[in-house]
Structure 1
Amino acid sequence: MARGVSRSAAGFTIVELLVTVVIVGILSSVAFPMVELTLQRNKEQELRRDLLELREALDAYKKAADQGRIAVAAGESGYPRSLEVLVDGVIDARSPVGDRIYFLRRIPRDPFATDTTTPPSSTWGKRSYASTAENPKEGNDVYDVYSLEPGNGLNDVPYRQW
């Protein structure tokens, strides 16, 4: 045995390498769906947060209009004409110096929107006060927002209905 190479110095056999590759393949086939599920769950959490933020801003605008802090023409709903109004602000009708009321710092982008060149407000579906919940349509104001993503969430509820 003096002339031959000892077993410990010979390295890995082809069988050992194949077993290692098979084990790594099995582990990765289990890990990839979990990563995909985690990414979807994160997007859904962001969607919930963004919808809540937008809806709270719309409600705050309506409340300010009902309190007489925003000038509303006769026949208007009291909701903003666009999402951009929430960021640009409106003049406080009760302020003697013309202060502005702001409702959002920025309009969040729908986390499922893939086109990053469109403005964030265009990534949301908008429902006017005059439209129904079953058939939301844009109109003279923004009463509610919803995701334009056609799929269903992990809870099997379509994203449009969140």
Structure 2
Amino acid sequence: MRRRRNQLGLTLVELIVAFTIMTLLTALALPLARFKVRREKERELRYALTDIRKAIDKYKDACDGNKIPQKMGTDCYPETLEQLVEGVKMANDANGKKIKFLRRLPRDPFTRSTEWGMRSTQDDPTSTGWGGQNIFDVYTKSMEKAPDGTLYSEW
């Protein structure tokens, strides 16, 4: 059938070709979008781990410098992550002023919670259990693997 000049629209073949092109473009873009989301989560995880580890180091420095009281058996490391957020009363301060090391506990981008795996100075560096004495290091509880094959919990 011939088209008249005043008829507008697409033929069935044109629609099928356009739909096929759109499907191919979508199929190519989806893996790139997943890759980008994964990279963003990895970036957030690195930032959160660095933030918590710096706070633990600041706590240790304050304790070693006698700015905050040392509890026996903690080796001058915090007993809980909440101590970093709530703060610790300064030693020899009559006003009860507190030193805070974190504004809030960062969220783990893979588990979507603020619960982190913890290791004390007495724990094995590769253990997934926490001895409970102090907090020397933190890790994600996610069992997912990075593109290089390492577990995110080993970061």
Segments of 5+ residues of structure 1 without an aligned counterpart are none
Please tell me whether the aligned partners of residues 73 and 133 of structure 2 are also in contact (alpha carbons under 8 angstroms): no
State yes or no: 1:135 paired with 2:133. no
Please tell me whether the aligned partners of residues 121 and 135 of structure 2 are also in contact (alpha carbons under 8 angstroms): yes
Q: Structure 2 matches for 1:95-110, cutoff 5 A?
A: 95-110=93-108
Q: Deviations over 1:75-96 (max 9, x none)?
A: 3311111000001100110434
Q: CA deviation at 1:70?
A: 1.6
Aligned residue in 2 for 1:145: 138
Distance 2:85 2:73 in 1: 24
Of 83, 86, 89 in structure 2, the residue corresponding to residue 85 of structure 1 is 83
Q: Deviations over 1:85-116 (max 9, x none)?
A: 001100110434321100000001101114x5
Aligned residue in 2 for 1:28: 26
Of 51, 54, 62 in structure 2, the residue corresponding to residue 53 of structure 1 is 51
State yes or no: 1:157 paired with 2:147. no
Segments of 5+ residues of structure 2 without an aligned counterpart are none
Provide the aligned length of Structure 1 versus Structure 2. 153
TM-score normalised by the chain length of structure 2: 0.91
Q: CA deviation at 1:61?
A: 0.4
Amino acid at match of 1:145: V
Work out the percentage of aligned pairs sharing the same amino acid.
37
Q: Structure 1 residues 69, 9: CA separation in 2 closer, same or farther (over 3 Å shift)? A: same
Q: Structure 1 residues 77, 9: CA separation in 2 closer, same or farther (over 3 Å shift)? A: same
SS at match of 1:9: coil
SS at match of 1:154: coil
